[in-house]
Amino acid sequence: MWGYTRGMNIRLARPPTARSAPRFAEDVASWVRVRFALDLDYSVESLVMVDALLETMRQERVPIDAKVGETLWCLGCYVGEVFVRNANAEWTDREQLPPVVACGETRINPIGKVVKRVALDDRGDLATFYAQYIAS
């Protein structure tokens, strides 16, 4: 198992790399489809559904244990894949975790955004997060 210990300790099924990020996104999209009957289709509009899930977790003050941390990681990868598929971006590794999305010269940390949304009470929605980088 792969661990991510910067701020939380989680176990991941595969290495936490740019190469594996799309698989994490697929995993969580499948899980959300089964668990909540929501179809995450990688559209920009689907970020509203992800945001609703994160807002529920934030409001319920879900404790960030290993399982929740893994879910947040995967949801962050899903958000990153929305950038990749809609904004001509690409995943890239860096020295420290997590991998980021490169959109031109801009580096975007969708995994960090998702974690902050729940763990640090960040109320900034994902559609605005997406739009602020696409507009620049």
Kindly write down the DSSP assignment for every residue of 65-128, as one continuous string: -HHHHHHHHHHHHHHHHHHHHHSS-EEE--SSSSPEEEETTEEE-HHHHHHHHHHS-----HHH
| Tokens read off for 65 | 């244990």
Tell me if residue 13 falls in helix, strand or coil. coil
**Could you tell me which of 115, 99, 95, 97 has the C-alpha nearest to residue 20?**
99
What is the pLDDT at residue 62? 84
| Tokens read off for 26 | 């697929």
Distance set, CA 67 to CA 21, 39, 73, 82 (Å): 17, 22, 10, 23
Query: What sign does the dihedral 67-72-76-78 (CA atoms) show?
Result: positive
What is the pLDDT at residue 94? 87
What is the pLDDT at residue 5? 38
What is the pLDDT at residue 96? 79
pLDDT tens, the chain, 136 aa long: 344 434 556 778 788 899 999 999 999 999 999 999 999 999 999 999 999 999 999 888 888 777 888 999 999 999 999 999 999 999 999 887 799 999 989 999 999 999 999 988 888 899 999 999 887 5
Nearest-angstrom CA–CA distance, 108 and 59: 25
Domains of the chain: 2-122 (1.20.120.1090)
What is the pLDDT at residue 8? 55
What is the pLDDT at residue 97? 79
pTM of the predicted protein model? 0.91
Angle (CA) 106-109-111 rounded to 5° is 160
